[in-house]
Amino acid sequence: MTRNEELFARAQKTIPGGVNSPVRAFRSVGGTPRFFTRGEGAHVWDADGRKYIDYVGSWGPLILGHADPDVVAAVQQAAARGLSFGAPTEAEIELAELLVELVPSLDMVRLVSSGTEATMSAIRLARGFTGRDKIIKFEGCYHGHADSLLVKAGSGALTFGNPSSDGVPADVARETLVLDYNAPHALARAFHEHGRDIACVIVEPVAGNMNLVAPRQDFLEAMRKLCDQHGAVLIFDEVMTGFRVGLGSAQGLYGIKPDLSTFGKIVGGGMPLGAFGGRRDIMGKVAPLGPVYQAGTLSGNPLSVAAGLATLRKIRVPGFHEALAAKTRALVDGLQQAARHRGVTFAAQAVGGMFGLYFAPQAPTTYAEVMTADKEAFNRFFHAMLDQGVYLAPSAFEAGFVSAVHGDADLAATIAAAEAVFADLAK
C-alpha cells in the first residue's frame, strides 16, 4: 500500500468520502487522491514523495504559485499581530479600496469568508433590493452550494429548476429558473414571461465549473440589456475569473458592467476570503446600512486580508496578465498540436490564465456540448498524466489554472508528457 492509499483509507473512517470537498475524492476519474505535503512555485509533492507540475493551483487562488514568499511573509506578519479580532482593521479598508480601484463596477464591497458566502449574500441582496424572489442561473454554472443555487434545469425548455442536491427544498428550487448558457434567445423569452418577478441573473462570465466554456459576447450583452429593461440585478460570479482573466476580471475583458460581482480564490491569495460588491444604491441595502442581513465572525480575517492584499499588489504590475495569458495559450496550443500529431480527437482553449481540455473535436459552447465529450478518454489521460508527474483537475468538468511561476520547462515537460500519453491513447 502506498502512503497515499494508507491516508485515504484512514481519512474515510472519519471524513465523508475521505475529503472535505467532493471533487477531491477522485470519484470522477477513479483511483486514490493524492495527499499533498508541500507546494513550492508551480510544483506540489505528495505523501509518497512524488513531485508534480500543478495545474489546479488550489482550484484557482494560486496565481503566484505555491508559497509565494511575499504572500507567506505577509500572512506570517499578520498572524504575529493576532489571528482574529471580530472587529474592524485598517487592512480591510486597504483591500476594499484596492478592489474598488481595480474593478470599476464596484462602488462598495463587503468581505466574507468564501465564494459560496459571497454568491449566497449577493442573491439575498438582489432579492432584498428588488423585492422579487425569482432568480435566473445557467445550466452548468456553479455558484457555490447555497440552496437557491444547487438547482438544475427542470424538464422543458423554460421551466423552474429542480434541486440538484438532496436537502434543497423543492419550493426554494422552484424560485430558480435554469437556462442554457450562451443562449440569448432563451434569456429573452424568460424575461418576456417572468420579467416582473425576476430579482437577478447570476452568471459565471467565463464558465469554469463545466470544464471551461467561453461566453458569446452577445450572450453577455443580452443579459445586461434585459436586466436593465426589466429592473433585475445582473450578478457576475467572478470567484474563478476575478483577477485571473485580467486585472479588471472578466467584466473588464468583455466590457460589461454588472450591478453586483462576487469574488473568491485570488482575492484571498490562498486563504479563505470572498467578497461581494457593486453599485452603491444596492450595497446600501446591506446591514447595518440597510435591511438585508449578512454577517460573519471571521469576515475580513486579518490573515486572509493580508494574503489577498499581498497577492493583488503583486499581480497589478503592467504586463502581468498578458504574460500569464500568453503562457496559458502556449500550453493549450502545444497540447493541441501534440494531439494532432498523434491523431487524437482533442481540443483545448484558454481565457487569460485559465484553460479547458476537451476530448471532443472542438471546444464546447453549452453544457449539452460539454456532456458529449469523451469522459473515458479524459480519465485515461488524467491518470497517465499523473503517472508522468502532471497534476490536472481530477474531473473532466473542471477548468485548469496556470500560475505566473510555471516556467518554460514546466510547459515543455507537460506537452512532452501529453504527447506520449496521446500516443498511447491512439493505439
Tell me the window of 19-27, 87-95, 279-287, 353-361 that interacts with ligand HOZ (CB under 6 A).
19-27
Cα-trace Rg, the chain: 21
CB environment 107-138: b (16+ within 10 A), e (fewer): ebbbbbbbbbbbbbbbbbbbbbbbebebbbbb
Please, where are the H alpha helices in 67-200?
69-81, 90-102, 115-130, 170-173, 184-194
The gap from C-alpha 23 to its chain's centroid, in whole angstroms, comes to 13
Residue whose CB is less far from ligand HOZ, 265 or 342: 265
Active site residue 237: yes
225 class by beta-carbon count within 10 Å (0-12 exposed, 13-18 middle, 19+ buried)? middle
Nearest approach, Cβ of residue 202 and ligand HOZ (Å)? 16
Residue whose CB is less far from ligand HOZ, 46 or 398: 398
Q: Is 23 in the site for ligand HOZ (CB under 6 A)?
A: yes
Catalytic residue among 134, 137, 265, 327: 265
> Is 133 in a helix, a strand, or coil?
coil
Q: Measure the CA–CA gap between 357 and 212, rounded to whole angstroms.
A: 8
Residue whose CB is less far from ligand HOZ, 21 or 297: 21
Residue whose CB is less far from ligand HOZ, 130 or 209: 209
In 10 A of CB 418, how many CB atoms? 29
With CB under 6 A as the contact rule, the residue among 21, 49, 87, 131 that binds ligand HOZ is 21
Q: Is 24 in the site for ligand HOZ (CB under 6 A)?
A: yes
Active site residue 180: no
Let me know how long the chain is. Answer: 427
Residues 391-410 that bind ligand HOZ (CB under 6 A): 398
In 10 A of CB 160, how many CB atoms? 17
| Number of residues lying near ligand HOZ (CB under 6 A) | 6
The single-letter DSSP state of residue 232 is: P
373 CB-near residues (< 8 Å, 6+ apart): 211, 358, 359, 360, 364, 396
Residues 117-156 that bind ligand HOZ (CB under 6 A): none
Residue whose CB is less far from ligand HOZ, 23 or 136: 23
410 CB-near residues (< 8 Å, 6+ apart): 42, 53
All three cell numbers of 396: 473532466
Nearest approach, Cβ of residue 298 and ligand HOZ (Å)? 18
Residue whose CB is less far from ligand HOZ, 199 or 307: 307
Catalytic residue among 52, 55, 142, 358: 142
All three cell numbers of 149: 443555487
Residues 195-224 that bind ligand HOZ (CB under 6 A): 209
Q: Is 358 in the site for ligand HOZ (CB under 6 A)?
A: no
Residue nearest to ligand HOZ (CB): 21
**CB half-sphere exposure, 306, CA atoms < 13 A:** 21
Nearest approach, Cβ of residue 42 and ligand HOZ (Å)? 18
Residues 52-91 that bind ligand HOZ (CB under 6 A): 59
Nearest approach, Cβ of residue 313 and ligand HOZ (Å)? 25
Active site residue 265: yes
Q: Is 237 in the site for ligand HOZ (CB under 6 A)?
A: no
Active-site residue set = 142, 237, 265
- Interface residues toward ligand HOZ, by CB under 6 A: 21, 23-24, 59, 209, 398
